[in-house]
Structure 1
Amino acid sequence: MTLTRRQTLASALGATAALSMPARLFAQSGPILHASWGGGVGDTWTVAFAGPYTADTGTAVRIVELPNPEAQFRAHAGDPQYHTGIGTFVQGVNMMRDDMLETFSLDEIPNMRNIDEKYWLKTEDGRIAGVTPYFAYYGIAVNTNEASVEDFQSWKSVADPKWKGRLGMTRPIYLSTYDLTILAKAAGDDEYDTAGGMELLKGMARNVLNVSNSLAQQNTMLERGEVAAMPFYSVRVWSLNEAGVDYVKILIPEEGALLLPYVIFAPKGVKDRGMVADWLNHIASAAPQERGAALSGYIPANRDAVATSEIKAKLGGEYDDLRARLYQPDWGYIAENQKDIVAAIDQMLATL
């Protein structure tokens, strides 16, 4: 019998109904508390990761949906309220540099051996500070009722004056890490020299209808055709397509798209450290990452993960083929310079 996504979610959520108990009770009774972003991300973690782990080990995992897990980790530094949480790679780098993360040896998380080391969040002495379970990518989303996919075969297209008032754009905090980085590459530079990227970003800003404050707003802008296109996340377009919005497409321009690794980390001083290490090792394995790909279009980090024919059709090829078209910048450098970059973007936008 084939189950729909809704039925699959309902089944998994029903199987983990006991996990809806208050967080403080869980912290006392032992189940793992995992801080996640909400919406589809929380659903994916319940179905693809937490539910199967509980079934296999008998250890309950509660997915706690939060607007920003990093903020909670920082607010409770020294008194962890969660065992693990998700963040962007830049967030992980910043917390690691602030000595806020628990670290693990490779022997404690052996499945990391099947993840390319360039995707590891690790300390200078090689200890693991975070597990990368999967990637998304940052490309150009196009509403094909408003524009043609051929119109955006290059990142430079977003600066074309013909799109004045027809593009969407995110906030400077994300422009600094994502948009500027890939636009710099399109200009022939990189994250270390972003002058050309800043000029393209300025051109895009002149074409923007408005700067969106949330992913939900960006989804709406694209779905309703309020904008013809905007830089956007592959998994968000995947969700739109799965919901029947097939006229919104995600493109990888000729210069490539930006690879976005996500990371799962544990706060320094986390309780039940051995249990947490086992949970992280499960996250690093191929099977849950394959389930995450089927549910939400995430690209597995574990090299043993196999793409089904359906996944290959939706992604346009094997996982390795897709990774080859994605640009992996120096996230450590970007994180270290983020404040200055945000300030420069704010100043640029103020002059328009």
Structure 2
Amino acid sequence: MTLSRRQTLAGVLGSAATLALPSRLMAGTGPILHASWGGGVGDTWTKAFADPYSAETGTDVRIVELPNPEAQFRAQAGNPQYHTGIGTFVQGVNLMRDNMLETFDIEELPAMKNIDEKFWLKTEDGRLAGVTPYFAYYGIAVNTNEASVDDFKSWKSLADPKWNGRLGMTRPIYLSTYDLTILAKAAGGDEYNTAGGMDLLKGMAKNVLNVSNSLAQQNTMLERGEVAAMPFYSVRVWSLNEAGVDYVKIVIPEEGALLLPYAIFAPKGVNDREMVAKWLNYIASATPQERGMAISGYIPANDQAEATDDIRSKLGMGYRELRAKLYQPDWGYIAEHQKDTVAAIDQMLAAL
């Protein structure tokens, strides 16, 4: 069997998060090393971003698949071994607040001017702590063999007792960030006022058949019809649909879906800063983001990105129309209060 460059490098690194890279692969001594989640995410970054950039610029980019790039950034603080890495927006906020990210002036990353400022990861003085490559959204996934998409026109439907034992749910760490936020909005509040959302979350929890520990398990529950519906990620449903599982649909309820921006950032003190800035600016541009959409369903953040007829058909709309249906909360506030929110959800679930 012939291993790809990415697979070979991943094998060198092994599964231990604290293993050091060989000196020839240390940041600043050769290619750009980009820390990515594995599986489909790593494949998307290789095909949509890294390989085209290497071909266009002559600067090699290697995708290193890791369970948690944020953990690597923290473990290697002061001695970064990666030039860039991916994280959720909340992870980016937390790393930025802990002064662990390199920051850039907007003129160093001009492609970000075509991305709405509400999607920027930036410091209090306005410097950019990363770029936004794309976003997904958090809606309600429905197995249409078990329920109708019309059954879930509202997020409030998840708390309806008629779904007792027929819903899936994720872990409290994600419930605190995603589910509670959008349920609070559905209840007339927001991330600052979550009392109504907590009531809906409690109602949903009473209907849950299984709290899943992994995305793979959630995929299986939906595909097999073990659950009729559950809050889920648009890109996961996209992947199921592309694999021929067309009876699982993603619903954007009338209150909207939760917009989930991702961030690409560089560790503080990264070497070859100018090289890194050029790579980050490329990531923020429209063309690679369009490729990422075609491969895995991640919605481009760059306003200049255009949806092909095929993409519009699959989405049922264009990018601008889709963005209008999505809710972008204050991720900084959510990140700041996450620990207390998780504790409150744990306490609520324990009392059921």
Distance 1:163 1:289 in 2: 38
Indicate whether 1:26 and 2:29 are aligned. Answer: no
Deviation at 1:142, TM superposition (A): 0.4
TM-score calculated relative to the size of structure 2: 0.94
What CA RMSD, in Å, does the superposition of the two structures yield over aligned residues?
1.5
Contact 2:10–2:65 (Cα < 8 Å) also in 1: no
TM-score calculated relative to the size of structure 1: 0.94
Q: Deviations over 1:87-138 (max 9, x none)?
A: 1101100110000000011111111111111110000111100101101000
Deviation at 1:17, TM superposition (A): 8.2
SS in 1 for 2:271: coil
SS in 2 for 1:79: coil
Distance 1:70 1:18 in 2: 22
Distance 1:21 1:115 in 2: 36
SS in 1 for 2:344: helix
Q: Following superposition of structure 1 onto structure 2, how do residues 282-321 of structure 1 map, counting pairs within 5 Å?
A: 282-321=282-321
Contact 2:166–2:228 (Cα < 8 Å) also in 1: yes
Q: Deviations over 1:212-239 (max 9, x none)?
A: 1111111111111111100000000000
Q: Following superposition of structure 1 onto structure 2, how do residues 29-108 of structure 1 map, counting pairs within 5 Å?
A: 29-108=29-108
Compared CA separation, residues 253 and 141, structure 1 to 2 (3 A): same
What is residue 231 of structure 1 aligned with on the other side? 231
Contact 2:176–2:341 (Cα < 8 Å) also in 1: yes
Q: Following superposition of structure 1 onto structure 2, how do residues 90-239 of structure 1 map, counting pairs within 5 Å?
A: 90-239=90-239
What is residue 334 of structure 1 aligned with on the other side? 334
Contact 1:135–1:299 (Cα < 8 Å) also in 2: yes
Deviation at 1:319, TM superposition (A): 0.2
Distance 2:45 2:99 in 1: 26
SS in 1 for 2:238: helix
Contact 2:95–2:101 (Cα < 8 Å) also in 1: yes
Contact 1:15–1:51 (Cα < 8 Å) also in 2: no
> Which letter does structure 2 place at the counterpart of 1:53?
Y
Deviation at 1:76, TM superposition (A): 1.1
Indicate whether 1:240 and 2:240 are aligned. Answer: yes
Structure 1 unpaired stretches of 5+: 1-12
Aligned residues: 340
Distance 2:153 2:59 in 1: 48
Distance 1:14 1:69 in 2: 21
Contact 1:293–1:300 (Cα < 8 Å) also in 2: yes
Distance 2:243 2:129 in 1: 36
Distance 1:275 1:21 in 2: 26
> Which letter does structure 1 place at the counterpart of 2:87?
G
Task: Could you list the structure 1 runs, at least 4 aligned residues long, displaced by more than 4 angstroms after superposition.
Answer: 13-23
Q: Following superposition of structure 1 onto structure 2, how do residues 270-281 of structure 1 map, counting pairs within 5 Å?
A: 270-281=270-281
